[in-house]
Chains A and B, each alone.
Chain A
Amino acid sequence: MDFLQLILTLDSTVRLSVVLLFACLAGLFSEKSGVVDIGLEGKMLISAFVAAAVAYETGSAWIGVLAGCAASLIFAMIHGVASIIYRGDQIISGVALNFLASGLTIVLGHAIYKKGGQTPTLTGNARFTEITLPFADAVRDVPVLGPIYSELISGQTALVYLAFAVVPAVWFLLYRTRFGLRLRAVGENPSSVDTAGISVVGMRFKALFFTGILCGIAGAYLSTAQAAFFGREMSAGRGYIALAALIFANWRPLQAMGASLLFGLLEAISNLYPKIDVFGVVTIPVQFTQALPYILTVVILAGFIGKASPPRSVGVPYVKEN
């Protein structure tokens, strides 16, 4: 593999990992506060649809993102009402919301655009275009650093830069603010937080607010930046890969970035190099590369390498003592 090929692979990696990163951070907020969210997939899907439809109607990709976030937020709040207020089963709520998104996006898309659930193609300002950073063209011929700057760092869409800016922001919010401390405490030991006079219900809803927004951006990225339309089942299991990345990252924001990049790299490899020859002896099939994120996550969960340590009260509805 020559250098330019490497740069192109990494470029593809970045583009593919952004959606995982947003979704993974979304899951981080929810699970840190003690609410399991396997509905990341559904929130991304509904947002991808709403973002594409609104961007098409208004001609503005940013308004599309906002609308996508609003849709995702509504789903997050339904999950909140079910699992926080009514102490419903969080897994069941997540599964149901994923189904709801699968169905609604196609029913609405079919009714509005009559194209079997697909939205019309976005053009001009209705989609995110690549931003060329200053001097990208000038330094292109500089060896090594030139291509890295002009191909990899420059020429990405606004949401890509936003994703990598959000990572330190999330870290700061969770580990350096009072809000973050309370949020983490509510996922570890809700009764102690309650004793301190802080509302467990309120904290968990606030966490789900961030989950909704971040999942919304993830979904909008799929339909307005990575592609320029919404297609049925567009999220294609990425919500579950994000969940895997969250476990892989052991529920920490900076590691979430690493895990998202790793899983993005695997997706890029499976797209670009379907068959990999290892010294002409064995051929690694593309399905293996595609399944690798899931296999790695199971290995991590099994505790043979590293140790998964989820928030202690994750998945347990909080019932106030009388």
Chain B
Amino acid sequence: MDKMPRWADVALIPLINILLAFILAGLVVLAIGQNPFDMVYFMIKGALGSTRGIGYTLYYTTNFIFTGLAFSVAMHAKLFNIGGEGQAAVGGIGTALVLLAVPWPHWTLALPFAVIGAAVFGAGWAAIPAYLQAKRGSHIVITTIMFNFIAGALSIYLLNGVLKKPDQQAAETRQFGDGAHLPTFNEMLSPFGIEFSKSAPVNFSFVLAIAAAVLVWLLIWRTRLGYDIRAFGNSESATAYAGISSVRVTIIAMLISGGLSGLLAINVVMGEAERLILNFVEGAGFMGIAVALMGRNHPFGIVLAAFLFGMLNQGGFELLWEMPGISREMVLVIQALIIIFTGALVNMTRDPLERFFIRMNKRAG
């Protein structure tokens, strides 16, 4: 056997890489004269120490599950969709339009239509880069970056114009009606006698995110379309010989990806803010790249990675109170280092480990 065992590939290497990232981040913390172990303690306490902390952690986790799944679906077709940020922003516009247009009587009625609004708008924003990649060969990385910025300009324009609530300064829409209020964990769990923090924003969208993860798993590994997407990602020429249309796969994979990014708006716009505000995506689209990378493009891995990144996010906010010397952007440094070690520098740990395992195997055999 001239391969390393699967457990090493799936578990050992990511663990070593995350450890390396944390060691380096610890050195940064030491360099600014703070105690890295205190930092880790306060971050974990902030993220998991109370139902409020858990509620925020799961709220961020929900965002990262959506954007991580979005990135992974496109990546299975070897399409680097870096436009999650813009697709989520436009998904927010779709959500807001649906929720503002109709005085919804109950959230169970509002949610399906809001999901359609979010997904269609998100997918629509991915459609043009997808078409240009499939038909004109325009590099999707660059076009989706450009579309992120165009989405930003569009949001600012709409929220300062037609969508803006009259008679106020802030660039935001009016509040959605009470009938569009998604139940929070507090409201969902209290009938069962479970006390959950009232202030935590985690809501029904978390259930939606888990369902999306299951559906993506079914799509990618249990349907013909999923097979086509994976085959296209592995070898474009082979799929051409097999009669799979590259245009069709590219566009469908990107539409699903954009739609999933758009769903982030259900959690943030419908679930938390209950109105459309500017810059609500807050980098979650980009973070989806890291989440998918760490989760190795598998829904189960993505849910785990999203939880880790959700913890980091929430822990970082709490840091502000406990250790004022460390700015919460330390979280960004940790996340960046995780991406560097698990993504860009993955071969740095993989190559020597692979050699090690091959040598061990030869000795054993």
Q: Which residues of A contact B (CB under 8 A)?
A: 36, 38, 78-79, 81-83, 86-89, 91-93, 95-97, 99-100, 102-104, 106-108, 110-112, 116-117, 237, 240, 243-244, 247, 285, 287-288, 290-291, 294-295, 297-298, 301-303, 308, 310
Contact A290–B153 (Cβ < 8 Å): yes
Instruction: Enumerate chain A residues within 8 angstroms of B334, measured Cβ to Cβ.
Output: 103
B139 touches A102 (CB 8 A): no
Within 8 A of A (CB), among B136-188: 136-139, 141-143, 145-147, 149-150, 153-154, 156-157, 161
Which residue of chain B lies nearest to A81 when distances are taken between CB atoms in the complex? B345
Question: Would you call B343 an interface residue if the criterion is a C-beta within 8 Å of the partner chain's C-beta atoms?
Answer: yes
A97-B340 in contact given A295-B150, A301-B139, A301-B142 (Cβ < 8 Å):
yes
Please give, as numbers and ranges, the residues of chain A lying within 8 Å of B325 by CB-CB distance: 110-111
Can you give 10 contacting A-B residue pairs, CB < 8 Å? A91-B141, A99-B336, A99-B339, A111-B32, A111-B33, A294-B150, A298-B150, A301-B139, A303-B137, A303-B138
A137 CA to B150 CA, complexed, in Å: 43
Tell me which of A95, A97, A302 contacts B82 (CB under 8 A).
A95
Q: How far is the CA of A294 from the CA of B153 in the complex (A)?
A: 10
Known: A86-B347, A287-B156. A103 touches B331 (CB 8 A): yes
Q: Is the CB of B289 closer than 8 A to any CB of chain A?
A: yes
Q: Is the CB of A92 within 8 A of B28?
A: no
Does B50 lie at the interface of the complex (its beta carbon under 8 Å from any beta carbon of A)?
A: no
Instruction: Compute how far the CA of A291 lies from the CA of B333 in the bound complex, rounded to whole angstroms.
Output: 29
> In the bound complex, how far is the Cα of B347 from the Cα of A88, in angstroms?
7
Q: Is the CB of A99 within 8 A of B332?
A: yes
Q: Which residues of B contact A38 (CB under 8 A)?
A: 82, 141, 145
Complex contacts, A244 vs chain B, CB 8 Å:
142, 146
Q: Assess the A93–B340 pair: CB atoms within 8 A.
A: yes
B: residues with CB less than 8 A from A are 28, 32-34, 80, 82, 128, 132, 136-139, 141-143, 145-147, 149-150, 153-154, 156-157, 161, 286, 289-290, 293, 325-327, 329-337, 339-340, 343-348, 351
Complex-state Cα separation, A187 to B146, whole angstroms: 24
A93 and B153 contacting across the interface, CB-CB below 8 Å = no
In the complex, what distance in Å separates the CA atom of A61 from the CA atom of B143?
A: 37
Contact A302 B138 (CB under 8 A): yes
> With A100-B337, A301-B138 given, is the CB distance from A91 to B327 under 8 Å?
no
Q: In the complex, what's the smallest C-beta–C-beta distance from B335 to chain A, in angstroms? A: 6
A92–B343 Cα gap in the complex (Å)? Answer: 6
A301 neighbours in B (Cβ, 8 Å): 132, 136, 138-139, 142-143
Asked whether B132 lies within 8 Å of A106 as measured between CB atoms, the reply is no
Secondary structure of the A side of the interface?
helix
Asked if A294 contacts B146 (CB within 8 A), the reply is yes
How far apart sit A294 and B147, CA to CA, in the bound complex (Å)?
A: 7
- Least CB distance from B111 to A in Å reads 31
Q: Tell me whether A237 and B340 are in contact (CB under 8 A).
A: no
Given A103-B332, A107-B329, A302-B132, A291:B150 Cβ within 8 A: yes
Q: B149 is contacted by which of A81, A83, A294, A303 (Cβ under 8 Å)?
A: A294
Contact of A82 among B82, B286, B326, B345 (CB under 8 A): B345
CB-CB nearest in chain A for B349: A86
User: Assuming A107-B330, A240-B146, what are 10 further A-B pairs, CB within 8 angstroms?
Assistant: A86-B347, A88-B343, A93-B343, A103-B333, A104-B333, A111-B33, A240-B149, A243-B142, A287-B153, A287-B157
Q: Decide: A106 and B327 in contact? CB cutoff 8 A.
A: yes
Q: Shortest CB–CB separation between residue A37 and chain B, in angstroms?
A: 12
Cα A96 to Cα B342 in complex, Å, equals 10
Interchain CA distance A288-B326 in the complex, whole Å: 38
**Alpha-carbon separation in the docked complex, A102 to B137 (Å):** 32
Residues B153 and A291 in contact, CB atoms below 8 Å apart: yes
Q: Do A302 and B136 touch across chains, with their CB atoms under 8 A apart?
A: yes
Query: Are B344 and A88 touching (Cβ within 8 A)?
Result: yes
A88 touches B157 (CB 8 A): no
Chain B residues with Cβ below 8 Å from A308 are 138
Kindly list chain B residues whose C-beta atoms are within 8 Å of the C-beta of A97.
Answer: 336, 340
**Nearest-neighbor residue (CB-CB) of A94 within chain B:** B344
Q: Which residues of A contact B330 (CB under 8 A)?
A: 103, 107
Query: Which residues of B have CB within 8 Å of A295?
Result: 146, 150
CB of A107 within 8 A of CB of B32, answer yes
Chain B residue nearest to A108 (CB atoms) is B32
Bound complex: CA A319 to CA B162 (Å): 54
Decide if A93 touches B142 in the complex (CB within 8 Å).
no
Chain B residues contacting A116 (CB-CB under 8 Å) are 327
List A contacts of B336 (CB < 8 A). 96-97, 99-100, 102-103
Q: Which residues of B contact A294 (CB under 8 A)?
A: 146-147, 149-150, 153
* Chain B residues with CB below 8 A from A99, complex form: 286, 332-333, 335-336, 339
Determine whether the beta carbon of A102 is less than 8 Å from that of B329. Answer: yes
Cα distance A83–B347 in the bound complex, in angstroms: 10
The closest CB in chain A to the CB of B338 belongs to A96
The residues of B that contact A111 with a CB separation of less than 8 Å are 32-34, 325-327
Chain B residues within 8 Å of A108, by CB: 32
| Contact A89 B344, beta carbon cutoff 8 Å | yes
- Quote the shortest CB–CB distance from B260 to chain A (angstroms): 19
Residue of B at shortest CB range from A100?
A: B336
CA of A102 to CA of B287 in the docked complex: distance in angstroms? 13
- Taking a contact as CB atoms closer than 8 A, the residue among A78, A88, A104, A291 that contacts B28 in the complex is A104
CA of A241 to CA of B226 in the docked complex: distance in angstroms?
Answer: 35
Check if A87 sits within 8 Å of B329, measured CB to CB: no
Please report the C-alpha to C-alpha distance between residue A256 and residue B157 in the assembled complex, in whole angstroms.
Answer: 30
A82 pairs with B138, CB closer than 8 A: no
Chain B nearest CB from A244 CB (Å) reads 7
Interface centre among B32, B340, B346 (most CB of A within 10 A): B340
